[in-house]
Each structure stands twice: as structure tokens, then as C-alpha cells.
Amino acid sequence: MNIVIVGDSWGCGEWGQRSEKFFGEYVHVHPGLELYLKEDGHNVLNFSKGGSSNSDITYQLKCAFNSSIFFSGTIDKIFMFQTEWIRDIRNQPRKKFDINAEVERQAISEFYNTVSNIAVENNTKVGVIGGCSDAMWTDDFEKQYPNLYIICQSFINLCVTGSDRIDDPIHFFNCDLIEQFSSADSDKEYILKEIERIDRRKELLKCTPELFWPDTKHANRHGHWILYEYIKKNFIEN
């Protein structure tokens, strides 16, 4: 099976400390899902890159269809790690934005629409994995966004609880970005709530080293194994 992976650092795999000399500097140390799929006999191209925004990920997706020459046939599966929507603001000319729940919903919906259009144009389907940002679930998701489906709404929740769904999804991970780009007219109550939720999630990762150590910001190889087993059972073998 020919498989493409796109995403940010979460799609790259495990991140670890470079060396004691460079304390606090983390680098990619294990391919995670990519390696497990390859060991299972699949051909895999991984376009994921650390720090990518959702718009970067859509560009990776477009590149994937131009890279099918590396496969002996068509692309069979595409796994897309979703990241926090606010990263796209970094590339905007404006310095401050009114950040609130509706702006968040629209930004993620626009991202899904873009990916949906790319998938439809190329007559394929794209599976969403909530990594740095949980995916946005709706009851009519696949009808609303044709050729797009959710594989795992929350990678973090899958690792910690065994459930791919999450009742209260979080679409941020970096509090600094919220504080940097929020305007005076932003919904302050919403922002404070989100920052509190981010802090709790970060603490959860720190308190679960068997799944998120050594950098405590990404799933490690054991977490990626859980994701691999889940995908293999539900989206490859079926």
C-alpha cells in the first residue's frame, strides 16, 4: 500500500534532546508512525515538517500528488496531522486579530474546505489526525467536507484514555501565540479559558512520560505505536 503522511512536528514522530551539550534543544529522533507502517510492508512518503501551519500542510498535500512517481502506483492512503490554526496568522500582514470561538471555528473550517477541495480534485480521501490541535468534530463531517474524514480526533486522548474521540477538543498548544496576536477586542474570557485548558494539557503530557517523554510536547515512539495499531485495525485491515 502507498501511504502519504503530511503534518507538522507531530507527523514527524518522536522528538528528543540533541545532547547534554545542547540542553533543551530537541530534534527528531524516531520516525514514529512512518516507521511502523514501513515495517509493516507499506511504501510511505512523509512530508511532515516541524513548525508547519495548516496552510503549510495543505501545500505538503499538493506536493504529495506531484510525488506519486516515487510509488509504483497511486496513493492509497493519506494521513494528515492537524496543527493549531493560529499558526497561519503568523504569515498575515496584520499584527493583531480579534480572537474568539467563532474565528477559531471559521479558520479550522476553511482549512478543512481547502483540504476537501484538494482531495476531490485528485479523486482521493484524506484522513485527519488531531495532533498538536484536536480535530473539529461534527455529526455530518464527511458530508460537510467531501473526501475528508476523521481518523483520530485527538491523538493525545487516544494515548491517554484509549478513545479516539474527545468531548472538549483543544485547538491550541502555544499560549504565546494567543497572547502575541490577540487584539484588544478579542474575547478575553474565551482566551483565558483556552490558556487554562492548554496549561492542563501540557501538565498531562508532563505527567505521562511513558507516552510523551522526552520532550513532553509530542507523542513518543510508544504513543505512535498506539496510533499505528489503531490505524492498522480500523483503517487499513478493514
The domains of the chain, with CATH numbers, are 2-236 (3.40.50)
Task: Identify the sign of the CA torsion 111, 116, 121, 126.
Answer: positive
Closest CA to 127 of 37, 18, 207, 26: 37
Compute mean pLDDT per 10 residues along the chain, 238 residues long, and list them.
96 82 71 98 95 97 78 85 92 80 96 97 96 96 98 98 97 89 91 96 97 95 98 92
> Coil, helix or strand for 201?
helix
Determine contact, residues 129/152, Cβ cutoff 8 Å.
yes
The cell for 207 is 505527567
**Would you state the pLDDT for residue 221?**
98
C-alpha to C-alpha distance for 81 and 11, rounded to whole angstroms: 6
**Would you state the pLDDT for residue 27?**
87
The cell for 36 is 511502523
Helix (H) / strand (E) element for 192: namely helix 188-206
**Would you state the pLDDT for residue 92?**
75
Determine contact, residues 36/111, Cβ cutoff 8 Å.
no
Helix (H) / strand (E) element for 225: namely helix 221-231
C-alpha to C-alpha distance for 220 and 210, rounded to whole angstroms: 8
Q: Which residues pair with 82 in a beta bridge?
A: 130
The cell for 117 is 477541495
C-alpha to C-alpha distance for 231 and 179, rounded to whole angstroms: 36
The pTM for the full model equals 0.94
Determine contact, residues 52/7, Cβ cutoff 8 Å.
yes
C-alpha to C-alpha distance for 83 and 10, rounded to whole angstroms: 8
- Cell 484514555 locates to 161
> Coil, helix or strand for 85?
helix
Helix (H) / strand (E) element for 148: namely strand 148-152
The vertex-157 CA angle with 229 and 32, nearest 5°, equals: 40
**Would you state the pLDDT for residue 43?**
92
**Would you state the pLDDT for residue 68?**
57
The span from the first CA to the last CA of the chain, in angstroms, equals 13
